[in-house]
Amino acid sequence: MTRTVRNFRKTLDAVAMNNEDAALAVMRAADRIGDAVLKEQLFNVIQRMNQDAAELRLVRDHVS
């Protein structure tokens, strides 16, 4: 495995981890919001962020 590939895989991991960390922060904030519509929108964002993180990890696993 070349250095470029290793760095690319590390970057994909870091972005996935950042997405998950951000999703947790948004989830905590959404739990404190009384506006049901805004809360639902934030939960949809959280789902997309977690899905993106999972897809990044799949891509990482296929990079050789």
Question: Using one digit for the tens of pLDDT, what is the confidence trace for 6-62?
Answer: 999 999 999 999 999 999 999 999 999 999 999 999 999 999 999 999 999 999 999
Burial letters 17-26, b for 16+ CB under 10 A, else e: eebbeebeee
pTM of the prediction? 0.86
Question: Using one digit for the tens of pLDDT, what is the confidence trace for 26-38?
Answer: 999 999 999 999 9
Domain parsing of the chain, residue ranges: 3-62
Q: How far apart are CA 26 and CA 60, in angstroms?
A: 25
